[in-house]
Structure 1
Amino acid sequence: MRYPHFLLLVVAIVIGLPMLVIIPSLSELLWSVDLKQVIRELIQYPGFFTMLSQSLLTALISVVVVTGLTLISARYLVALKQSGQPTNTQNTQHSWLGILSMPHLAFAVALLWLAAPTGWLWRLIPVETPWMPWFDRQYLVSLWIILIAKELPFMWFMALRALQQLPLDRWLLIGRSQGHSETRTWWLIVIPALVQRLRLPLCVVAVYSLTVVDLALFAAPQTPAPLAVQVVQWQLEFNPLSQQLAAVGSVVLALLAGLVCGWVRLQEWVLFTWAQRLLSRAMTKGEWILLNISRIGRVLPSVFTGLALVLLVALITLAHGRGWFYPALLPQQWDFTLWINEWLFLANGAWRAFWIAVAVASISLVLCILTAEWQRARRQKIPRALLLLPLFIPQVFLILVWIPWTDTNLFWVAWAHVPFSYAYALLAYLPAEERFEQRYLQQSQTFGYSFWRAWWLVKRPLLKVPLLTAFALAMLVSIAQYVPTLLIGGGRVSTLTTDFVALSSGSNSSMQALYALTMWLLCAVVLVVLKPRASAAREGEIQ
């Protein structure tokens, strides 16, 4: 590979520069204010400790529940891998990618409409009082459930990728030869190894749950709001004290992010220690029940796929129903004029979001390829945690330290999306790329092809599926970005996501459903366009 240092420099400038500016920006941010006074104001701010506890509790509960549900579902993933039919595994990955394509805001609107105390579900069930008031607006448990339901497909996707790299057949055979059942071997040998490989994705889930803003604006309490939401509101108030509170509050979020990542490491250690002790003694009845509970996990992916279809139907009906009063099962009339009235606004936001996403995904994919090829050329591996660093630092914190270095235009908004899309694209591309036999590329170079010519003719077709998957994931991440678009754009650059969040504080549920449905359709277009190309390349994918 020629010019490896130049390629590394390109990656460092585009991705590393945002990381490098943190230190001087943070120093200027903190030392330009009376730090002790601002900290005192922050602590005395009404509801500060409630904000803190809401954010921390949301992150811890989300990561614990998502970890548990991912692990008890993993036996289903093993069954797919051991079926001997790669098409099944690939179809499942694309199915979950389709679920991942659901914008989390659209998912939240549909789920709240379906399960709220006056929602569609309770109109179907003949009860006088709903026994699950959790799915109400501005209720913290609603935020937990939405986050868990939306993060599960991502973790299944990452778990399936991790399981493909483990010698499961050999481990299960060794377990049987030692007199252990397959279930016992699975939980005590395979699961600890799987959890170790899922450490970084779980940290991503934990930090996202801690610092999510758009979902929290829609579903969480606002009196007081979670800390990340309040930091954004302080930043938008444009008075010196509020700006200082936002700066110090973002640092508090960064410290909490380190704490929740430490929690992920702690739960991994607890599971590993439990497995080691259980291997050396007989199981109790309670432990035997716990190990066999994984059978329940087989139905979770199918249930979730069915839920996605129900939520889509719920969005369509809510967007087009008029005169729909509780407890009527269906609206009094159907009306499609809202599309016509809002089409100009919808089209502008969707068109801008789409082209930003195309540019961001293209840059992210090129950077993924350069990163992977540089590692192979140098025979060095950049630590995965360093490559994914934008996902481990609170987004609000990063954006606040980037604001002095940027301008409020389309270029800088797209640039602010790149680190996050690049990190998610790496998660999809690197595992497949690392399994590629580089000798194919080397053999083609012996015929006189340059490195990149050989890469285009040989490696690109064989890795077309992970390349397209990474591109699609990068686009979906860019479309969903709210905080970078709002703060870097300064209100001058709007997308479908920012328009929807602006509407979410109102009471017009049909309008919210219409924007949510448009977001869903925009993400679906990305997959519909890319999936046929991936399907045509499946036979060439390196397993």
Structure 2
Amino acid sequence: MARALSTLTWPWLLVLVVPVAIGILLGLNGLWRFTDWFEFFQQPGLFKSIGYSLLVAIVAPLLALYSALLISASAQHTGAWRRTRQWLAPLLSMPHVAFAIGLLFLLSPSGWLVRLLQELFSLFPQPPTNWWPQEKSLGLMILVLVLKEIPFLLFMIAASAQQFPQQQWQRLAATMGYGSYVSWWKIMRPLLVRRLKLPFFAVVVYSLAVVDIAALVGPNTPAPLAVEVVNWQRSFVPVDQSFAAFGSFILLVAAAFMYALVHWHEGWVLKGARQQWWFMRRPWGVLAIGLGRLWQPLAVVLVIGSLAVLISWSLAFGWYYPDLSPDSWQVSLWVQEWPFLQQPLFHSLSLALITAVAALSLSVLLLEHQRKRNQHWPDWIVLLPLLVPQVSLVLGWVSLQSMLGITPKVWSSYLAVIIGHIIFALPYSYLVLASHYRSFNQRYMSIAATLGYSRWQAWWQIQWPLLRAPLLFSGAMAFAVSIAQYVPTLLLGNGRITTLTTETVALASGGDRALIALYSLLQALLPLLIFTAVLFTGRTAGRTAGRKAGQTQGVNSDAGN
């Protein structure tokens, strides 16, 4: 770790490491109040709350990881794998909050699925009491997290798998009598588990400290620990501020414990790789492969179904159980809410656009800095904000605001939220761009230099067109991450910066499904539109880039002749 940090120049140390260090250290302010610890541990449901957080942090990431591995094993080198990768963008673009609300309206005891079963088979004249998943339950929370983290892990698997000669290894395994699925499970799975250690740990930390999903669909008697920490932080009772610091410390300790488990899991996979391939034998292998191949249509149905149910509820008037459709369709809610929607919509768009431009620019500068110095920094340096519970970091930054005496005004709150969004969006933007940027053929830039181009002129004329698709996708990812931010917006904004995400979570505590659907739908549409535009632009980028690169090579060849 010290050797890796020694490669950083002070500006990058300031950007990448110092904010995380400040967040951790200042977030622990107040731990010295030992008398409050006794009262803290007497809080009703505290240990159950901690247990909920630990259970979710273990179960959801493991289910997501092995689901992603099964999908990859069953779809590699097939048209299904190419289609799966094409669907990753819209799946990644949908914010967790909007997806959770859509899934809740789709699968809850009074949701569309139960209504459809009642319409077809008259099974549920009343909403079932023993239906799974129940609203506000641990099962629904785990389901939402698993379904939303699978696309991220698939994306990381796709990026990592390209660095290995898979086909060559599998042909060699075939000569030894192993089928394609068994050989993939024996050879690729251990390598990918090692490569995915940090992204997987980021998923674990997110599941441990997630607040918005837990508040929307998780249990509330008691709630998971991260939700309780935010509630204590927002309380006006002085002792609750100490409770928030204590809860933040417990989350940090839990994250360290989870890292030990992730490290143990990696060793278990690597040591037992030869014995664990029985999972791909019949009948388990057939079942696993079948489930892997079903994921793509299932994911498409869930995303489209979630969007459809959000659209339907936002336009519905008089929709009662067990009716499959409302009494009538109206746009009156959209018209009535438009004056109240303008400010959250403006804040969401402006924050996301600024964050996307800043995160993309920092990613490019960071990769250019490494290229210039011929360095390859370890991923954990950039991933640091994702490897620490978000609530703990944000509480530290809130303490910094108080220490600096920053008066909570709109402009200062807005600036603090922007900085928070950039810190959490940069790792995702960097991960998306890094492999493409490093694999770029620098010979093009050398040729441009011989023709008199400066480094940045060549970047704009050659590298930008050739890398336009991953660059735009990197910016779109940062845009989507900013749209989804809840805790930084809520706490750093001091309640003065309202976005679609903060409003959706606030409205979810009420019972107006139409209003909740309207805000959730707008939150989902913003990144979806951006990703659609990026995908459309990416299709034409390669043609223009190819022509420019060909012209550059042609000119250089003529000059050589």
Same structural fold, with TM-score higher than 0.5 when normalized by the shorter chain: yes
Deviation at 1:153, TM superposition (A): 1.5
Q: How does 1:117-128 map to 2 (within 5 A)?
A: 117-125=109-117, 126=121, 127-128=123-124
Q: 1:453 to 1:16 in 2, by over 3 A?
A: farther
Matched, 1:191 2:189: yes
Within the candidate set 504, 507, 532, 1:528 is matched to 532
Q: What does residue 370 of structure 2 align with?
A: 375
- Number of corresponding residues: 525
Contact persistence 2:16–2:381 (CA under 8 A):
no
Deviation at 1:130, TM superposition (A): 4.1
Any idea what the Cα deviations from partners look like across 1:266-315, whole Å, max 9, x if unmatched?
A: 22322222223468xxx6x9854334444211221222112211121111
Deviation at 1:264, TM superposition (A): 2.4
Deviation at 1:500, TM superposition (A): 1.0
Q: 1:374 to 1:477 in 2, by over 3 A?
A: same
Contact persistence 1:346–1:518 (CA under 8 A):
no
Deviation at 1:503, TM superposition (A): 0.6
Deviation at 1:23, TM superposition (A): 5.8
Any idea what the Cα deviations from partners look like across 1:8-39, whole Å, max 9, x if unmatched?
A: 54433333331242465256x146x42x3233
Any idea what the Cα deviations from partners look like across 1:87-111, whole Å, max 9, x if unmatched?
A: x84x643421111211211111111
Q: 1:73 to 1:287 in 2, by over 3 A?
A: same
Query: What is the identity, as a one-letter code, of the residue corresponding to 2:36?
Result: V
SS, match of residue 202 in structure 2: helix
Q: 1:66 to 1:132 in 2, by over 3 A?
A: farther
Within the candidate set 459, 468, 472, 2:463 is matched to 459
Q: Unpaired runs of 5+ in structure 1?
A: none
Q: 1:278 to 1:153 in 2, by over 3 A?
A: closer
Query: What is the identity, as a one-letter code, of the residue corresponding to 1:468?
Result: L
SS, match of residue 376 in structure 2: coil
Q: What does residue 93 of structure 1 align with?
A: 85
Any idea what the Cα deviations from partners look like across 1:460-512, whole Å, max 9, x if unmatched?
A: 11111111111000000001100000000000111111111111100111110
| Alignment partners' CA distance in 2, 1:463 and 1:515 | 35
Within the candidate set 329, 337, 341, 2:336 is matched to 341
Query: What is the identity, as a one-letter code, of the residue corresponding to 1:323?
Result: G
Contact persistence 1:7–1:370 (CA under 8 A):
no
Within the candidate set 36, 49, 52, 2:50 is matched to 52
Contact persistence 1:8–1:374 (CA under 8 A):
no
Contact persistence 1:66–1:148 (CA under 8 A):
yes
Any idea what the Cα deviations from partners look like across 1:425-445, whole Å, max 9, x if unmatched?
A: 111111212222222222322
Any idea what the Cα deviations from partners look like across 1:23-61, whole Å, max 9, x if unmatched?
A: 65256x146x42x32332222211110010000101111
| Alignment partners' CA distance in 2, 1:182 and 1:531 | 32
Indicate the percent of aligned positions where both proteins have the same amino acid: 35
Q: 1:531 to 1:379 in 2, by over 3 A?
A: same
Matched, 1:510 2:508: no
TM-score, structure 2 as length reference: 0.88
Q: What does residue 325 of structure 1 align with?
A: 320
Deviation at 1:184, TM superposition (A): 2.1
Matched, 1:364 2:355: no
SS, match of residue 135 in structure 1: coil
Q: How does 1:9-28 map to 2 (within 5 A)?
A: 9-22=10-23, 24-26=25-27
Contact persistence 2:103–2:302 (CA under 8 A):
no
Q: What does residue 104 of structure 1 align with?
A: 96
Contact persistence 2:27–2:399 (CA under 8 A):
no
Q: 1:60 to 1:341 in 2, by over 3 A?
A: same
Any idea what the Cα deviations from partners look like across 1:322-358, whole Å, max 9, x if unmatched?
A: 2211112221122210000001222221121111111
Deviation at 1:258, TM superposition (A): 1.9
Q: How does 1:400-415 map to 2 (within 5 A)?
A: 400-406=395-401, 407=406, 408=408, 409-415=413-419
Contact persistence 2:345–2:500 (CA under 8 A):
yes
| Alignment partners' CA distance in 1, 2:7 and 2:53 | 42
Contact persistence 2:160–2:195 (CA under 8 A):
yes
Deviation at 1:319, TM superposition (A): 1.5
Q: How does 1:158-237 map to 2 (within 5 A)?
A: 158-237=156-235
Within the candidate set 140, 144, 147, 2:145 is matched to 147
Q: How does 1:55-94 map to 2 (within 5 A)?
A: 55-80=53-78, 89=82, 92-94=84-86
Deviation at 1:76, TM superposition (A): 4.4
Q: What does residue 295 of structure 1 align with?
A: 289
| Alignment partners' CA distance in 1, 2:24 and 2:320 | 55
Q: 1:474 to 1:58 in 2, by over 3 A?
A: same
Q: What does residue 473 of structure 2 align with?
A: 469
Contact persistence 1:212–1:228 (CA under 8 A):
yes
Contact persistence 1:77–1:160 (CA under 8 A):
no
Any idea what the Cα deviations from partners look like across 1:110-146, whole Å, max 9, x if unmatched?
A: 1111111121111111313748623332211111111
Query: What is the identity, as a one-letter code, of the residue corresponding to 2:165?
Result: P
Contact persistence 2:73–2:181 (CA under 8 A):
no
Contact persistence 1:187–1:291 (CA under 8 A):
no
TM-score, structure 1 as length reference: 0.91
Q: Which moved more, 1:438-447 or 1:195-204?
A: 438-447
Contact persistence 2:355–2:425 (CA under 8 A):
yes
| Alignment partners' CA distance in 1, 2:25 and 2:393 | 13
| Alignment partners' CA distance in 2, 1:360 and 1:384 | 21
Any idea what the Cα deviations from partners look like across 1:237-290, whole Å, max 9, x if unmatched?
A: 1332111110121111111112223322322322222223468xxx6x985433
Contact persistence 2:84–2:296 (CA under 8 A):
no
| Alignment partners' CA distance in 2, 1:254 and 1:71 | 28
Q: 1:362 to 1:11 in 2, by over 3 A?
A: farther
| Alignment partners' CA distance in 2, 1:191 and 1:293 | 18
Contact persistence 1:7–1:374 (CA under 8 A):
no
Q: What does residue 116 of structure 1 align with?
A: 108
**Root-mean-square deviation (CA), in Å?**
2.4
Contact persistence 2:211–2:227 (CA under 8 A):
yes
Q: What does residue 556 of structure 2 align with?
A: none
Contact persistence 1:115–1:121 (CA under 8 A):
yes
Q: Which moved more, 1:356-365 or 1:436-445?
A: 436-445
Query: What is the identity, as a one-letter code, of the residue corresponding to 1:476?
Result: A
Contact persistence 2:367–2:437 (CA under 8 A):
yes
Q: 1:286 to 1:335 in 2, by over 3 A?
A: closer
Q: 1:324 to 1:343 in 2, by over 3 A?
A: same
Q: What does residue 441 of structure 1 align with?
A: 445
Q: Unpaired runs of 5+ in structure 2?
A: 1-5, 550-561
Within the candidate set 289, 303, 306, 2:301 is matched to 306
